[in-house]
Amino acid sequence: MDKLINRKKTTDILSTNRREHHHNLTKIVEPVMVFVEGGTFRMGCSSEQGNDARDNEKPLHTVTLSSYNIGIYPITQKQWQAIMGNNPSGFKGDNYPVENVSWDDANEYIRCLNEATGKKYRLPTEAEWEFAARGGNKSQGYKYCGGDILSDVAWFKENSDEITHPVGAKKPNELGIYDMSGNVWEWCYDWFCAYQLSEQSNPTGPASGSYRVYRGGSCYASSAICRVSYRYGNIPGNSLCNLGFRVVL
- pLDDT tens for each residue of 97-153: 999 999 999 999 999 999 999 999 999 999 999 999 999 999 999 999 999 999 999
pTM score of the predicted model = 0.89
pLDDT-derived band at 240, boundaries 50, 70, 90: confident
**Vertex 80: Cα angle to 76 and 86 (nearest 5):** 125
Residue 20 lies in a domain: no
Residue 165 lies in a domain: yes
What is the torsional sign of CA 150, 224, 229, 183? negative
Q: What is the residue-wise DSSP string for 9-64? A: HHHHHHHHHHHHHHHHHHT--PPPEEEE--EEEEESS-GGGGGG--GGG-S-EEEE
Residue 15 lies in a domain: no
Residue 17 lies in a domain: no
Q: What is the mean pLDDT of residues 217-221?
A: 97
pLDDT-derived band at 14, boundaries 50, 70, 90: very low
* CA atoms in the 13 A half-sphere facing the CB of 69: 10
Residue 228 lies in a domain: yes
Task: Tell whether the model's pLDDT for residue 9 goes beyond 50.
Answer: no
pLDDT-derived band at 28, boundaries 50, 70, 90: confident
Residue 21 lies in a domain: no
Q: What is the CATH number of the domain that holds 43?
A: 3.90.1580.10
Three-class SS of 55-107:
HHHCCCEEEEECCEEEECCCCEHHHHHHHHCCCCCCCCCCCCECCCCCHHHHH
pLDDT-derived band at 62, boundaries 50, 70, 90: very high
DSSP state of 210: S
pLDDT in tens, 76-103: 999 999 999 999 999 999 999 999 999 9
The structural domain count of the chain equals 1
C-alpha pair distances (Å), 48 with each of 29, 53, 148, 200: 37, 9, 9, 22
Residue 125 lies in a domain: yes
185-191/243-244 β-pairing: parallel
The domain of 159 spans: 28-244
Residue 10 lies in a domain: no
> Taking a C-beta distance cutoff of 8 angstroms, is the pair 167, 74 a contact?
yes
C-alpha pair distances (Å), 207 with each of 75, 143, 193, 212: 26, 30, 10, 11
Name which residue leads in pLDDT, 10 or 120. Answer: 120
> Taking a C-beta distance cutoff of 8 angstroms, is the pair 121, 31 a contact?
yes
Alpha-carbon dihedral 147, 148, 149, 155, rounded to 10 degrees: 60
Q: Of 96, 233, 88, nearest to 160 (Cα)?
A: 96
Neighbours of 61 (CB within 10 A): 18
Q: What is the mean pLDDT of the chain?
A: 91
Cα separation, 218 vs 26, whole angstroms: 32
Q: Of 236, 226, 228, 208, nearest to 106 (Cα)?
A: 236
Cα separation, 73 vs 99, whole angstroms: 13
Q: Largest Cα–Cα distance of the chain, in whole Å?
A: 78
pLDDT-derived band at 8, boundaries 50, 70, 90: very low
Q: What is the mean pLDDT of residues 200-212?
A: 97
